[in-house]
């Protein structure tokens, strides 16, 4: 039998092997393994159920179940395109599952669907924030900044998401060396954020940046402003007060400022101490 004839005979077998060895996200057309349910809400619930089944010990099995959950979330939009708000949540959830698998571009595509479909829902802003996070982790700083600023400028979104967007935008500006813009963003959140924990985070960024610049007196002033302005919230015997107290205790500035002061004092003492002959 000639080599060409033998190859022709083996083609069906080889194609079958390739199909069998395909990554676990290739289950065939979604309608073959994801049922079409009567409503978008039911479709979303089904995807949630599949996501909840992923707590299994075998990594390969967990990956396969994750892939099924991703396709189930995608099927919400595919089967019920008229349900924009529910489709936005489903796309956001799919994006959150895709990113840890290293499929960042697919995750970003799902998040774009969530932004587009999510007008009037929290998932528009959440998808924008997640987009910025993924872009920044991927080293794409300018797209990350664009995503954060889009959330910050969207007056239809919840205030807490806009505050977080300004925090993240300040982080990106700081990374780019645009210190004044970073300070303006963080100062906006420190002075007027809806959630006091976000205010603590902003003060922490402001003070920590001064520590990095060796302006320890300025950093101490920022910490003092933070404690004074957050005291009414921190003194509440409520869950809100407990959250603020935890945030204050966990500030980087609280740990780094005393250490920096001690190092500077030790250096000055060493400079002024008499040298032994």
Looking at residue 27, its pLDDT comes to: 40
> Where does the pLDDT of residue 9 fall: very low under 50, low under 70, confident under 90, or very high at 90 and above?
very low
Model confidence at 26: pLDDT above 70: no
In a domain, 77, yes or no: yes
pLDDT in tens, 80-127: 999 999 999 999 999 999 999 999 999 999 999 999 999 999 999 999
Looking at residue 84, its pLDDT comes to: 96
pLDDT in tens, 178-231: 999 999 999 999 999 999 999 999 999 999 999 999 999 999 999 999 999 999
For 186-218, b/e burial (b = at least 16 CB within 10 A) is bbbbbeebebbbbbbbbbbbbbbbbbeeeebee
Q: Three-state DSSP class for 215?
A: coil
DSSP sequence for 17-51: HHHHTS-TT--SSGGGTS---SSHHHHHHHHHHHH
Question: Within 10 A of 50 (CB to CB), how many other CB atoms are there?
Answer: 19
The whole-model pTM stands at 0.82
Q: How many separate domains does the chain show?
A: 1
121, 99, 154: which is closest to 44 by C-alpha?
A: 121
Looking at residue 272, its pLDDT comes to: 75
Model confidence at 1: pLDDT above 60: no
Q: Which domain holds residue 104?
A: 26-162
Q: Token digits for 25?
A: 């996200």
Rounded-to-integer distance, Cα 148 and Cα 162, Å = 9
pLDDT in tens, 219-271: 999 999 999 999 999 999 999 999 999 999 999 999 999 999 899 888 888 77
Rounded-to-integer distance, Cα 72 and Cα 94, Å = 9
Model confidence at 58: pLDDT above 60: yes
Q: Token digits for 22?
A: 């395909």
In a domain, 84, yes or no: yes
In a domain, 257, yes or no: no
In a domain, 209, yes or no: no
Domain CATH number, residue 132: 1.25.40.10
Q: What sign does the CA torsion over 135, 136, 139, 140 have?
A: positive
In a domain, 122, yes or no: yes
Looking at residue 57, its pLDDT comes to: 86
Burial (CB count <10 Å: 0-12, 13-18, 19+), residue 168 = buried
Q: From the CA atom positions of the chain, what is the Rg in Å?
A: 26
Model confidence at 45: pLDDT above 60: yes
In a domain, 197, yes or no: no
264, 258, 259, 254: which is closest to 226 by C-alpha?
A: 254
Q: Are residues 149 and 173 in contact, defined by beta-carbon separation less than 8 angstroms?
A: no
Looking at residue 271, its pLDDT comes to: 76
Model confidence at 12: pLDDT above 90: no
User: Which of the two residues, 167 and 15, has the higher pLDDT score?
Assistant: 167
DSSP sequence for 159-188: HHHHHHHHHHHHHHHHHTT-HHHHHHHHHH
Looking at residue 32, its pLDDT comes to: 57
Looking at residue 275, its pLDDT comes to: 63
Looking at residue 4, its pLDDT comes to: 32
In a domain, 155, yes or no: yes
User: Which of the two residues, 57 and 133, has the higher pLDDT score?
Assistant: 133
136, 159, 43, 59: which is closest to 91 by C-alpha?
A: 43
Looking at residue 22, its pLDDT comes to: 30
In a domain, 217, yes or no: no
pLDDT in tens, 137-168: 999 999 999 999 999 999 988 999 999 999 99
């Amino acid at each position: 039998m000639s080599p060409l004839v033998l190859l022709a005979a083996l083609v069906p077998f080889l194609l079958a092997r390739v199909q069998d060895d395909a990554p676990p996200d290739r289950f065939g057309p979604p309608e073959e393994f994801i049922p079409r349910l009567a409503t978008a809400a039911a479709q979303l619930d089904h995807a949630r159920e599949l996501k909840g089944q992923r707590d299994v010990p075998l990594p390969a099995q967990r990956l396969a179940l994750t892939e099924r959950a991703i396709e189930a979330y995608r099927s919400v939009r595919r089967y019920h395109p008229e349900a924009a708000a529910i489709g936005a949540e489903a796309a956001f959830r799919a994006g959150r599952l895709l990113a840890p698998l290293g499929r960042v571009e697919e995750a970003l595509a799902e998040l774009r669907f969530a932004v587009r479909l999510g007008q009037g829902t929290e998932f528009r802003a959440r998808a924008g924030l997640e987009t910025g996070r993924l872009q920044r982790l991927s080293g794409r700083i300018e797209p990350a900044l664009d995503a954060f600023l889009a959330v910050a400028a969207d007056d239809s979104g919840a205030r807490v998401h806009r505050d977080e967007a300004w925090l993240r935008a300040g982080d990106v500006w700081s990374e780019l060396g645009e210190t004044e813009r970073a300070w303006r963003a963080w100062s906006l959140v420190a002075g007027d954020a809806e959630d006091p924990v976000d205010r603590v985070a902003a003060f922490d960024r402001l003070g920590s940046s001064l520590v990095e610049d060796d302006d320890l007196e300025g950093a101490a002033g920022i910490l003092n402003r933070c404690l004074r302005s957050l005291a009414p919230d921190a003194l509440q015997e409520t869950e809100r007060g407990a959250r603020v107290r935890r945030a204050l205790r966990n500030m980087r500035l609280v740990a780094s400022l005393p250490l920096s002061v001690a190092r500077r004092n030790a250096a000055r003492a060493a400079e002024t101490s008499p040298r032994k002959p």
